[in-house]
Structure 1
Amino acid sequence: MKGLNKTGTEVPEILVLEILSKLPVKSLTRFRCVCKFWSSSFQTPFFINKHHLNNLNNKNLNLLLQRCHGPNGEIHYFSQLSTEKGQNFMVKQNIHLPICEDYLVDPTVHGPCNGILCFDIEFKIGLWNPSTRQFKILPESSIERPPSAESTDFGCLGFGYDSLTDDYKVIRFVTNYFEYEFDGMSYYSHTIAQVDLYSLNCNSWKELPHPGADAWYTFTFHNYINGFYYWAAVGAPGYVILSFDMVNERFSILPLPEFEGNLAQNHWEFLDFKGSLGAIVYPAKGTLKSIHVWVMSGSWTKQYSFESVPEVERPLGFWENGKVFLESSDHELVLFDPSTRELQNLGIDAYPNKMQIIVYVETLVPLNGRSELEELIMRRSPSWRPVDKINRNR
């Protein structure tokens, strides 16, 4: 279908699609009913990629805040924050996902990767596109485990994009537990000897070779950056960074930066620094933090430092113009401007040390899953919090 300009002249289809590719997902969802051509065009890889690139180039950023409340921080949900000027990141709505309910452990969120988030909670893994409001629970793996294994557990996980095949992949390490006897007593040993890889295109799992003969024990900090997933790990070589190439499906090892102190004295976060692997290092204790940013470009270099930032628990992520989101010592969300050293309290609180800032751009990437309504995902007003509802029902 061609469009018409003010003079009644037909506008070429390619120009119409170029204009449409600059619109938000919410508008495109409404426009699907205009005609079959528009509806089908919005689902083509060309239009999806064009739309995503326009959002990246124009820095149309969106913000989600993963947070929780409750006596023990057991009620998990997401707050969508406004990015419009003058609104000071006010909460636009709160989003509650049922996959985060009824578990003793906290859900881990991986991503965003091209606007897609991956949830990892005990034995369940889900993908979520908050722009199209699609959600997909991944199928269980059919990969056989060693017959002598008494039980199986799933450890660290990674999620990323394969640009060669236009595919989204989930990788996880599998721990098998074996029972043995010693002096008439039963014990359990474990080995991390298997690696599973899920492909969204195939909607199935396959097994990959393990990165080494020795077991790897991973820490909590990890991230996907520009085609690779990174974990901090310890194995036979000691403390290293374990990386996984989403295209070639191969592991490699990188060194950690040479920083002051040791891992027990510092906290870490991996970050995407303009397409390169970056790391934020900050003290584990105290509320007067010096925050250091390292970047890997052939070798590690310290990019810059924020010295002696007061009343800070930990950094959460970067925003525009070099500003940094922080969790304050009062466990509130604040924005720090390094150039002026100004701390702006945004008036949003959460349970201690469980906030996570998620900066993403909108995407039309289909998950072939179900709608948020079908998954009972609730979007509510800023005044609503899941903990309030649960307390009333007790």
Structure 2
Amino acid sequence: MQGSIKTRLELPEMLVLEILSKLHVKSLIRFRCVCKPWSSSFETPHFITKHHRNNLKNNNLNLLIKRCHGATRDDIHYFSQLSTEKDQNFRVKHNIHLPFFENFVHAPLVHGPCNGILCLAEPVVGHNVALWNPSTREFKILPQSTVQRPPGLEYTSFDRLGFGYDSQTDDFKVVIFVSNCFTWENEEGMSIYSHSIDQVELYSLKSDSWKEISFSGVDGYDSSLFNNYVSGFIYWQACTVDDLILSFDMVNEKFSTSPLPEFGGSLEQYYLDLLDFNGFLGAIFYPREGTNKSFDLWVMNGSWTKQFSVESILGAERPLGFWKNGELFLESSDQELVLFDPSIKELRNLGIHAYQETMRITTYVESLVTLNGRLEHEEYIIRRPAEGESN
């Protein structure tokens, strides 16, 4: 009797890639060693886009929290990667320190996510900016700008930053407002300082270079939330006019302004944060004073409409961002991370602590986007498992 004949099932290449595009980045990085065609396919724009869209469609969110555990808000800030599995209840998986930014107070400021990429920047004074893909663990330090500055500068300050994606050219861009600061002596011999927004500079990842762009003359406040990039535009609250939003179109590289919603109050009484809410620009308002906080969310879809109101959450201090199914992360008055479910009005303590007003939340979907940088290295990023550690 002849031995059994083993058959080999060959799947069409397109079907194989379709299956692979649904996997986590960690698995795909391992599978690069399986065969060269797979490794090459994972780097194509088509596969990268399909993989990212699958994650968006399935709402496969990842969660980072930036915080400080010290005795003051000026102590070293770091990230914690939280588990998003239901049975693990937002347990801390990794603590991530960034030595590249640790010489700067509150560092780094974080912008994004944009297609799974975060932009990290030295706050207020300086020009250290980096891009980071926390899924592939790739880190790229942006080159110094070569844009000419006016002569006689005392120093240059980089006060506002935006980060987004140009879908037309498949390019990631960083926009920075540059303040040029001069000093001179008046007739009495006193030193006089001048400080103004004189330039706006734009970085392109594709060209790996900076250029100067035209500027409307209206500066913008950074939102305390991370994600003020929404569907091809970056948004800021206008500095000089309280009832305007400043926006930047990533494709045509132009600034414009639009009105805030008529929310029934003034920005002297309410904080404002701009954010991405399901692909639309959202504006969340909450009182500056008082212990019982209410939160109003307005959404721009052709015109401003109030999406919902959450009234008087006892013990809540400020919003940090949205989770799945409209759940809202909040910082409590005890400086703990809590999750509020508006459908059942339930507040759940997640057991994660930080110094007052140092917590920042960002949610992102995994991405295979390459930055032409380098893998995480202890000179820039230190990632440690948090097993056995307190939150």
TM-score over 0.5 for the alignment? yes
Aligned to 1:11: 11
1:29 aligns with 2:29: yes
Q: Which amino acid aligns with 2:192?
A: Y
Aligned to 1:342: 346
Q: Which amino acid aligns with 2:85?
A: E
Map 1:30-179 → 2, pairs under 5 A: 30-73=30-73, 74-121=75-122, 122-179=126-183
Aligned to 1:3: none
Q: Residue 279 of structure 1: SS of its match in structure 2?
A: strand
Counterpart of 1:285 (choices 281, 289, 292) is 289
Q: Which amino acid aligns with 1:205?
A: W
Counterpart CA distance in 2 for 1:324 and 1:220 is 17
Aligned to 2:199: 194
Aligned CA distance change for structure 1 residues 366 and 31 (closer, same or farther; 3 Å): same
1:265 aligns with 2:266: no
Q: Residue 305 of structure 1: SS of its match in structure 2?
A: strand
1:157-176 Cα distance to aligned partner (Å, 9 max, x none): 00000001110000001111
Deviation, structure 1 residue 285:
2.1
Q: Which amino acid aligns with 2:121?
A: D
Counterpart CA distance in 1 for 2:65 and 2:176 is 25
Contact 2:321–2:328 under 8 Å retained in 1? yes
Structure 2 segments unaligned to the other structure (5+ residues): 1-5
Deviation, structure 1 residue 373:
2.6
Aligned CA distance change for structure 1 residues 56 and 238 (closer, same or farther; 3 Å): closer
Q: Which stretch shifts more, 287-296 or 70-79?
A: 70-79
Counterpart CA distance in 2 for 1:230 and 1:71 is 33
Aligned CA distance change for structure 1 residues 143 and 53 (closer, same or farther; 3 Å): same
Counterpart CA distance in 1 for 2:141 and 2:243 is 33
Counterpart CA distance in 2 for 1:385 and 1:143 is 46
* Number of aligned positions between the proteins: 379
Deviation, structure 1 residue 383:
5.3
1:104-157 Cα distance to aligned partner (Å, 9 max, x none): 344210011111000111321011000000001100000000123332111100
RMSD: 1.9
Counterpart CA distance in 2 for 1:385 and 1:140 is 38
Q: Residue 86 of structure 1: SS of its match in structure 2?
A: helix
Aligned CA distance change for structure 1 residues 25 and 217 (closer, same or farther; 3 Å): closer
Deviation, structure 1 residue 374:
5.6
Counterpart CA distance in 2 for 1:379 and 1:274 is 30
Counterpart CA distance in 1 for 2:95 and 2:248 is 34
Contact 2:249–2:255 under 8 Å retained in 1? yes
Aligned CA distance change for structure 1 residues 102 and 150 (closer, same or farther; 3 Å): closer
Counterpart CA distance in 2 for 1:328 and 1:186 is 45
Deviation, structure 1 residue 384:
7.8
Counterpart of 1:181 (choices 179, 185, 191) is 185
Counterpart CA distance in 2 for 1:135 and 1:332 is 30
Q: Which amino acid aligns with 1:18?
A: E
Counterpart of 2:221 (choices 212, 218, 222) is 218
1:255-291 Cα distance to aligned partner (Å, 9 max, x none): 1122233212211211111211001110112221110
1:296 aligns with 2:300: yes
Deviation, structure 1 residue 322:
1.5
Q: Which amino acid aligns with 1:225?
A: V
Counterpart CA distance in 2 for 1:376 and 1:274 is 33
TM-score by length of 2: 0.92
Contact 1:170–1:198 under 8 Å retained in 2? yes
Map 1:361-380 → 2, pairs under 5 A: 361-373=365-377, 375-380=379-384
1:47-101 Cα distance to aligned partner (Å, 9 max, x none): 1001101111111111111111112231211111111112211111111111231
1:244 aligns with 2:248: yes
Aligned CA distance change for structure 1 residues 49 and 310 (closer, same or farther; 3 Å): same
Q: Residue 198 of structure 2: SS of its match in structure 1?
A: strand
Contact 1:95–1:380 under 8 Å retained in 2? yes
Contact 1:276–1:297 under 8 Å retained in 2? yes
Counterpart CA distance in 1 for 2:296 and 2:344 is 17
Contact 1:221–1:232 under 8 Å retained in 2? no
1:24-63 Cα distance to aligned partner (Å, 9 max, x none): 1101111111111111111110110011011111111111
Deviation, structure 1 residue 349:
0.5
Counterpart CA distance in 2 for 1:38 and 1:97 is 32
Counterpart CA distance in 1 for 2:186 and 2:389 is 52
Aligned CA distance change for structure 1 residues 7 and 228 (closer, same or farther; 3 Å): farther
Q: Which stretch shifts more, 181-190 or 283-292?
A: 181-190
Q: Which stretch shifts more, 109-118 or 278-287?
A: 278-287
Q: Residue 47 of structure 1: SS of its match in structure 2?
A: helix
Contact 1:177–1:188 under 8 Å retained in 2? yes
Q: Which amino acid aligns with 2:219?
A: W
Counterpart CA distance in 1 for 2:163 and 2:11 is 41
Contact 1:219–1:233 under 8 Å retained in 2? no
Counterpart of 1:254 (choices 247, 251, 258) is 258
Aligned to 1:206: 211
Aligned to 2:236: 231
